[in-house]
Amino acid sequence: MKLDLDPDLVHAASQGNADALTKVLAACYPTMARVAVAVSGDTGRGLLLVKELVGLSMTAAPRWQEETAPARWFMHHTILNLRQRPIVCKTDPLLQYAAGKEIPYAAFLRALRKLPPQQIEAFILTHGEGLDNRRLAIAMDCSTTAAANHLSAAEEMLKTVAAAEFGERLAEFKKAYANLSPDATQVQQYIAGRVRNYIVPRKAARWTKRLIVAAIVIAIAYGLWRAFQYMS
């Protein structure tokens, strides 16, 4: 899914504006939650990863110089971190949220999970998030040719499993994937709390530092004034 963010909003977020940072992170969160949960194959592990990335993103925000930077940062780090963690599918979230949980669809998902990791990524990012080859290549940190090859290999293998019903299985996958989207109100509240807990202590620390510097300057000025008075 393509995320369009206002350049001024991203700039304000990079400058540490709490409201802007909240809006940017809340806009990015749903996509990353879907990707992390779907690719990892585990709701808890996927959301834990996104929770970690939300914290890291606030220190990365000052480097976001264009409107596409936040989405690119989240996607890159989500995929990178998922590759370092083994996929575990005890209760596949793509099956858990599927309507009906029909046997043919379950077999389709099992076949998907048996594919190499990059083929799984390519299939989910393309058919779940709707990424084109260029954005898929950026997300997977590879060439457009490599991304297209990963996707093609995944589709060919799954077509052998689903045969003439591939289109139907794909439609079921997309519906299940869409159901991974978190509640918007809960996301907003969660992100607002994380940003507040990050910004407030730092503002307090900055003001404390300024007060200390001011006190030192005043003390030096007073000492110089006393010395001048003494010498006079």
Determine contact, residues 102/175, Cβ cutoff 8 Å: no
Per-residue pLDDT, 85 = 77
Alpha-helical regions (H) of 41-165: 43-60, 69-83, 93-96, 103-113, 117-127, 133-140, 144-162
- Cβ within 8 Å of residue 80, ≥6 positions away: 141
Q: Where are the domains of the chain?
A: 1-88+183-202, 102-181
Determine contact, residues 43/109, Cβ cutoff 8 Å: no
Per-residue pLDDT, 66 = 92
Per-residue pLDDT, 204 = 47
Q: In a structure prediction context, what are the per-residue pLDDT tens digits for the chain, which is 232 residues long?
A: 567 789 999 999 999 899 999 999 999 999 999 999 999 999 999 999 999 999 999 999 999 989 999 999 999 999 999 988 776 667 789 987 665 557 889 899 999 999 999 999 999 999 999 999 999 999 999 999 999 999 999 999 999 999 999 999 999 999 999 999 999 999 999 999 999 998 755 554 454 566 556 557 676 765 666 666 666 6
Distance separating alpha carbons of residues 44 and 88, to the nearest angstrom: 11
pTM score, whole prediction: 0.81
Residue from 209, 228, 201 nearest 58 by CA: 201
Determine contact, residues 66/38, Cβ cutoff 8 Å: no
In CATH terms, 102-181 corresponds, of 3.50.50.60, 1.10.10.10, 3.40.50.300, 3.40.190.10, to 1.10.10.10
